[in-house]
Amino acid sequence: MTVGSPERDTRDSRLTDSELQRQLAVTWGSAGGLWNALSNVDHKVIGRRYIVTAFVFLALGGVLSLAMRLQLSQPEARFIGPDRYNQIFTMHGTNMMFLFAVPVMEAMAVYLVPLMVGTRNIAFPRLNAFSYWMFLAGGILLWVAFAIDTGPDVGWFAYVPLAGPQYGTGKRADIWAQMITFTEISALAVSLELVVTILKQRAPGMALNRIPLFVWSILVTSFLVILAMPAIMIASTSLILDRLVGTHFFNPAEGGDVLLWQHLFWFFGHPEVYIIFLPAVGMVSTIIATFTQRPVFGYLAMVMALITTGVLAFGLWVHHMFVAGLPRLGASFFTASSMAIALPAGLQIFCWLATIWWGRPIFRTPFLFVLGFIFTFVIGGMTGVMVASVPFDTQVHDTYFVVAHFHYVLVGGALFPLLGAIYYWFPKFTGRMMSERLGKWVFGLIVLGFNLTFFPMHILGLQGMPRRIYTYQPEMPWGGLNMFISLSALILTTGFLLFFIDVIRSARHGKSAGANPWRASTLEWATPSPPPCYNFQRIPVVGDSTPVWTDCEVLTVASGLRVDRRELLITGVVDASPEARESSPDHSVWPFWTAIATALVLIWSIFTPWAVVWGAVPVATALTGWFWPKGKPEDES
């Protein structure tokens, strides 16, 4: 870029607002049509697809749980046989963890983080598109397999030897392991994009201590994904190799080890819980700040709590294996660490309470969901302290007590904030408000239905009802509570149905929202709703941690970005001092083809290892197309 080039000035400095908007729309926008839809790399479009897809999977997983509740409502019921039931509970867990909870949190981040840090697109936008197509392909693989009676039946944890070659017959466990590969690839890609976006694309002045708490939580989560996912990648790949190629990672007779699987799986599996929970924490902080109209108390403490949780998350995995027969020292070490994680969690709760204490609460639906979150999640945290204790755990491990515990943590701790977040950001996504009246009904039905459904499971667990059973005998004293739970599940279902109805209705007929309907403080509200394809007309400049409260009428912005190519402002990691202008890649259909080629390899390799060799050809071709220099303005810098 030569300074003051004599040709046409393509910077935005001297353009009028309407001229600037027109030119930016040409550079950043995308025409309609299927082809353009497949090649779109706008983070908002992809984020929206991600969110919608993940909620479709939530609904499907919910249907499965209803099927399980039907079967368990009576002793020795015969609605569903053991083979189908095992597939159903495996599908429910796998679907909810890998196709709903993790992707939906990343999806919210894909949509919101670039807006919250004040940039025009996510870093590596084509990788982002690729990650969505991979996620979609993985989900379709799993559900089509289930539909043709090849759904995995080994539990979402797929313990060997049950999932190994001898006992996991057919292709069911292979489908599970390969579906993991799809979601691993997509999660790793998204995390990488988010880390780079957060560290290098923040608006000038958004130093580390001014990053919104949601963005902090996403940063920590992304590092957790990057560090934890390789463990499950090794695990699922070794499982596939054991099953298809005849290796012996988990075969004790040939020097393998059965518990190795559990170590690898839970080294990923425990951080996974925090990968789901930490973004929810960020959402809670955001919603509390807006609905008390105060910044959250103890910003530094909150950030440190997030980081501490992230670090401790890697020191807990053995508490899933307390009854596997490990040495006592190991067990007590992991008891201490599992208890210690209550400290950062408690600290955050106390900071939120302090904020609410001094703030003036505004009881709108998102805030109600946060209250539901505190009520429910603290119960989950308490039972978490219980199962962290080795002796306590020996009685409740693998019982319905644990089922209740982790639903309290995951539904109460992550899904409630997420629903609040949907109510909160829906106006930003669509430009329309969701119904406040319906919202209160949704909140009431879901929180009540959830507690009625899952609280009795604690009691069932103490009464000796193990997990993952497709039925129980009439002489066990579990029939009444199980029937009660199944009926309560209907209340919960009604709540979710209302939620979906509200979303679909509001997307078309909701009240128009305006740029900042909640009077919130973060940058995503400093642009119209829904945001234009270029996010911000000019890049905002930030002077504190609540920029929109400070500049509520007039925004301080930086001008001087080119409008004829997709220019972003790159800033420093710590102080977000402006460093350079750089172009962001244009729309491309190659990520879509690459995802198709990769999906082909992964699915084909379930049937023959040669797929890896021959399937590499289309993947290489697609990647060549992806990275081929096009001579466009985007290639200049």
Partner 1 sequence: MMSPDTRKSWSSLVFWSLTIAAGVAVAAAVSARMSKTGQRLHRDMLVRGPEMKLEQTAISGPEAKTRHWLGLLTAMVSCLGVAAVLGYTGEPLRLRQDPAVISELEHIRLMPNGVSGAPPNVYFALNQPYENASYNLAQGKRLYSWFGCATCHGDGQGGKGPSFLDGWWLYGPEMVSIVASIRDGRPHGMPPFRNKIPIEQIWQLAGYVQSIGAYQAKVAAPGRNDARQTRPAENRAPAVILFEPVPTRVHPDQGPSP
Partner 2 sequence: MKVVKLLLYLVLSGVAGCSGLQSALDVHGMPATHLKHLMTAFFWICAIVWLLVIVTLIYALVRSHTADASTQLDGPRTRIAVSGAVAATSVIITGLTIASFYTTRSIDTRMGDAITIAVKGEQWWWRVRYPNPDWVLEFETANEIHIPVGRDVRLQLESANVIHSFWVPSLAGKQDLVPGRSNTLLIRAERPGVYRGQCAEFCGLQHSHMGILVVAEDEASFSRWLASQRVVRSRTMDDEAAAGERVFLAKPCAACHTVRGTFATGISGPDLTHVGSRRTIGAGLLETTRGSLAAWIADPQTLKPGNNMPMVPLTSDELRQVSRYMDVLR
Residues 459 to 498 in contact with partner 2, rule: CB under 8 A: 459-460, 462-464, 466-473, 475-477, 480-481, 484
Nearest to 317 by CA among 153, 157, 188: 157
| Residue written as token pair 């089922």 | 403
Who contacts 523 (Cβ-Cβ below 8 Å, separation ≥6)?
115, 116, 117, 118, 203, 212, 540, 542, 547, 548
Who contacts 373 (Cβ-Cβ below 8 Å, separation ≥6)?
280, 284, 412, 413, 416, 417, 420
Pure H helices in 148-257: 172-200, 213-244
Binding track over 160-199 against partner 2, x by CB under 8 A: -xx---xx--------------------------------
| Helix, strand, or coil (residue 482) | helix
d(CA 41, CA 98): 23
| From partner 2, partner 1, none, interface partner of 147 (C-beta below 5 to 8 A by class) | partner 1
Residues 150 and 562: beta-carbon distance below 8 Å: no
**Beta bridge partner(s), residue 399:** 466
Residue 70's CB is within 10 A of a number of other CB atoms, namely: 14
Pick out residues in 137-156 that bind partner 2 (CB under 8 A): 155
| From partner 2, partner 1, none, interface partner of 86 (C-beta below 5 to 8 A by class) | partner 2
| From partner 2, partner 1, none, interface partner of 396 (C-beta below 5 to 8 A by class) | partner 2
Q: Does residue 432 touch partner 1 according to CB under 8 A?
A: yes
Answer for which of 140, 324, 570, 596 binds partner 2 (CB under 8 A) is 324
Q: Does residue 467 touch partner 1 according to CB under 8 A?
A: no
Q: Minimum Å distance from CB 312 to partner 1?
A: 8
Of 110-118, 294-302, 429-437, 591-599, which segment contacts partner 2 by CB under 8 A? 294-302
d(CA 277, CA 410): 7
208 exposure class (CB count in 10 Å sphere: 0-12, 13-18, 19+):
middle
| From partner 1, partner 2, none, interface partner of 25 (C-beta below 5 to 8 A by class) | partner 1
Q: Minimum Å distance from CB 143 to partner 1?
A: 5
Strands 567-571 and 539-540: unpaired
Rounded to the nearest 10 degrees, the angle between the axes of helix 43-72 and helix 125-147 is 20
Cα Rg of the chain, angstroms = 25
d(CA 424, CA 420): 6
Q: Minimum Å distance from CB 515 to partner 1?
A: 5
Answer for which of 226, 347, 558, 611 binds partner 2 (CB under 8 A) is 347
Pick out residues in 375-404 that bind partner 2 (CB under 8 A): 375, 378-379, 382-383, 385-386, 389-399
Pick out residues in 553-592 that bind partner 1 (CB under 8 A): 553-561, 569-570, 574-575, 577-581
Nearest to 212 by CA among 346, 307, 302: 302
Answer for which of 25, 448, 515, 600 binds partner 2 (CB under 8 A) is 448
Q: Does residue 360 touch partner 2 according to CB under 8 A?
A: yes
| Helix, strand, or coil (residue 414) | helix
Q: Minimum Å distance from CB 183 to partner 2?
A: 22
Binding track over 579-598 against partner 2, x by CB under 8 A: --------------------
- Total residues contacting partner 1 by CB under 8 A comes to 104
Q: Minimum Å distance from CB 236 to partner 1?
A: 16
556 exposure class (CB count in 10 Å sphere: 0-12, 13-18, 19+):
middle
Q: Does residue 79 touch partner 2 according to CB under 8 A?
A: no
| From partner 1, partner 2, none, interface partner of 295 (C-beta below 5 to 8 A by class) | partner 2
Answer for which of 39, 40, 53, 86 binds partner 2 (CB under 8 A) is 86
| Helix, strand, or coil (residue 570) | strand
Q: Minimum Å distance from CB 464 to partner 1?
A: 27
Q: Does residue 169 touch partner 1 according to CB under 8 A?
A: yes
- Kindly provide the b/e burial profile for residues 150-188, where b requires at least 16 CB atoms within 10 angstroms of the residue's own CB: bbbbbbbbbbbbbbbbeebeebbbbbbbbbbbbbbbbbb
Q: Minimum Å distance from CB 132 to partner 1?
A: 11
Q: Does residue 333 touch partner 2 according to CB under 8 A?
A: no
Peptide bond into 161 cis (omega under 30): yes
Answer for which of 26, 59, 144, 323 binds partner 2 (CB under 8 A) is 323
| From partner 1, partner 2, none, interface partner of 386 (C-beta below 5 to 8 A by class) | partner 2
| From partner 1, partner 2, none, interface partner of 424 (C-beta below 5 to 8 A by class) | none
Pick out residues in 405-424 that bind partner 1 (CB under 8 A): none
| From partner 2, partner 1, none, interface partner of 505 (C-beta below 5 to 8 A by class) | none
Answer for which of 202, 538, 565, 566 binds partner 1 (CB under 8 A) is 538
Written as one letter, the residue type at 607 is F
d(CA 571, CA 563): 19
Q: Does residue 508 touch partner 1 according to CB under 8 A?
A: yes
Binding track over 92-131 against partner 1, x by CB under 8 A: ----------------------------------------
Taken as a whole, the chain contains a residue count of 637
Q: Minimum Å distance from CB 503 to partner 1?
A: 10
Q: Does residue 52 touch partner 1 according to CB under 8 A?
A: yes
Q: Does residue 317 touch partner 1 according to CB under 8 A?
A: no
148 exposure class (CB count in 10 Å sphere: 0-12, 13-18, 19+):
exposed
Peptide bond into 344 cis (omega under 30): no
202 exposure class (CB count in 10 Å sphere: 0-12, 13-18, 19+):
buried
Q: Does residue 84 touch partner 1 according to CB under 8 A?
A: yes
Q: Minimum Å distance from CB 564 to partner 1?
A: 16
CB nearer to partner 2: give 392 or 604: 392
Q: Does residue 618 touch partner 2 according to CB under 8 A?
A: no
Residues 87 and 154: beta-carbon distance below 8 Å: no
Q: Minimum Å distance from CB 488 to partner 1?
A: 27
For 533, half-sphere exposure in the C-beta direction (CA atoms, 13 angstrom radius) is 20
Q: Minimum Å distance from CB 304 to partner 1?
A: 4
| From partner 1, partner 2, none, interface partner of 257 (C-beta below 5 to 8 A by class) | partner 2
